[in-house]
Amino acid sequence: MIGDRWEDTVVDPHDLVICAHVVYTVREIESFIRKLTDHSRKTVSLISFERPSTAMYLPLWEPIHGEERVELPALLQIRELLNALEIDFSETLSREWIPRPFRTLEEAQQECETRLFVAPGTKKSQRLARVLENSLTEVEGGYRLKWALPHLPRIISWQQ
């Protein structure tokens, strides 16, 4: 594992290069993909979801912040990019991942505040509490956002 900015990292090539939970915020994505490929002697594997892991919070954004939230890039954009770069890739569907429920209403409030960049005790926090009253459903083990769907991770791989 490399704990550094990808632009600054200097590493030797390896047989397998793995990337997970990184591409959402990479601005120079073409350069990033090329660097992954250049540092692989055999295989590059990139883990991506059909939708970003934060997608279940998107319906809360507009009622709280008063503007639409742009969804982070995910599987569709990765496919389009790899095709544009003429990289022949394969996809393997991994095990469905169901987000754990919030154990309590307070935990739901705190987690949503964090994901929505809302400071506790503010007007937006109070607005969020009101919105959550109609957005949560009780499930085994706690509460879940009514529209929350399982995550479907894919392993996208290509050979050097």
Backbone torsions φ then ψ of 106, nearest 5 degrees? -65, -40
Q: Are 137 and 125 in contact (CB under 8 A)?
A: no
Q: Establish if 80 belongs to a structural domain.
A: yes
Q: Establish if 149 belongs to a structural domain.
A: yes
For the stretch 85-133, pLDDT in tens is 999 999 999 999 888 999 999 999 999 999 999 999 999 999 999 999 9
Residue 128: the pLDDT is: 98
Q: Are 85 and 38 in contact (CB under 8 A)?
A: no
The 8-class DSSP code of residue 57 comes to G
User: Residue 102: which CATH number?
Assistant: 3.40.50.150
Q: Establish if 8 belongs to a structural domain.
A: no
Residue 160: the pLDDT is: 82
* Percentage of the chain lying above the pLDDT 90 cut: 68
Residue 145: the pLDDT is: 97
Q: Establish if 6 belongs to a structural domain.
A: no
Number of domains in the chain: 1
Q: Establish if 1 belongs to a structural domain.
A: no
Separation of alpha carbons 151 and 143, rounded Å: 17
Between helix 58-65 and helix 123-133 the angle, nearest 10°, is: 130
138 DSSP β-pair partners: 143
Residue 93: the pLDDT is: 93
Q: Establish if 9 belongs to a structural domain.
A: no
Residue 105: the pLDDT is: 98
Q: Establish if 102 belongs to a structural domain.
A: yes
User: Containing domain of residue 115, as a range?
Assistant: 14-159
Residue 46: the pLDDT is: 94
For the stretch 64-90, pLDDT in tens is 999 999 888 889 999 999 999 999 999
